[in-house]
């Protein structure tokens, strides 16, 4: 499936770890909010925890934008929980302040166009507006982590509803 900006984001229902507990999560649960949905390759790897913890540490800035963050991989909810419950000093994540989604069936990764033939997801990041339309799509190769500052900047620019020039930041002039 080829996703396009402005089209409805593919809905899903998956198991997740939310505040250390197993829950079912649907994208439609977040209708009316901005959603930052990001895919990462696998639990217990090296680049992934840098992204997951960075988003968690900055959650209040996204919440101030009326946005939620959802992290997703093809790992099981049990793997997610084990990774969260493992201390950072031992290769774990520690607490995560947003849901980690389990795409064990790989249907969500496939629907968002990030599933590799090897069965893991590329680093895909999608910003979805309150009407659940795709507003931003970024997909990159496995070895390079994303930039939380840039994700927040793009979210703020999209929310402004204005023309935002290169390197625009909140408080800068629009075109």
SS (H, E, C) the chain: CCCCCCCECCCCEEEEEECCEEEEEEHHHHCCCEEEEEECCCCCCCCHHHHHHHHHHCHHHHHCCCEEEEEEECCCHHHHHHHHHCCHHHCCCCCCCCCEEECCCCHHHHHCCCECCCCCECEEEEEECCCCEEEEEEEECCCCCCCHHHHHHHHHHHHHCCCCCCCCCCCCCCC
84 falls within a domain: yes
In a domain, 1, yes or no: no
107 within a domain of the structure (yes/no) = yes
The answer to whether position 99 is within a domain reads yes
Q: Is residue 171 in some structural domain?
A: no
Given 48, 127, 152, 157, the catalytic residue: 48
Per-residue pLDDT of the chain (175 residues; tens, 9 = 90+): 589 999 999 999 999 999 999 999 999 999 999 999 999 999 888 888 889 999 999 999 999 999 999 999 999 999 999 999 998 888 889 899 999 999 999 999 999 999 999 999 999 999 999 999 999 999 999 989 999 999 999 999 999 999 999 999 999 999 9
> Does the residue 175 lie in any domain?
no
Does the predicted TM-score (pTM) go above 0.85?
A: yes
| Residue 48 is among the residues annotated as catalytic for this protein | yes
CATH number for the domain that contains residue 137: 3.40.30.10
């Amino acid at each position: 499936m080829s996703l396009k900006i402005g089209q409805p984001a593919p809905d899903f229902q998956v198991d997740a770890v939310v505040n250390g507990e197993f829950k079912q999560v649907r994208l439609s649960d977040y209708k009316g909010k901005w959603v930052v949905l990001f895919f990462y390759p696998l639990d217990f790897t090296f680049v992934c925890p840098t992204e997951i913890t960075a988003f968690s540490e900055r959650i209040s800035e996204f919440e101030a934008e009326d946005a939620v963050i959802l992290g997703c991989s093809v790992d099981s909810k049990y793997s997610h929980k084990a990774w969260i419950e493992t201390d950072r000093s031992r290769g774990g994540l520690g607490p995560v302040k947003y849901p980690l989604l389990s795409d064990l069936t790989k249907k969500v990764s496939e629907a968002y166009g990030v599933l590799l033939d090897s069965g893991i997801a590329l680093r895909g990041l999608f910003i979805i507006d309150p009407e659940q339309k795709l507003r931003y799509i970024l997909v990159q190769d496995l070895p390079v982590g994303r930039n939380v500052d840039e994700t927040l900047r793009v979210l703020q620019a999209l929310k402004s509803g204005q023309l935002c020039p290169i390197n625009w930041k909140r408080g800068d002039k629009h075109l």
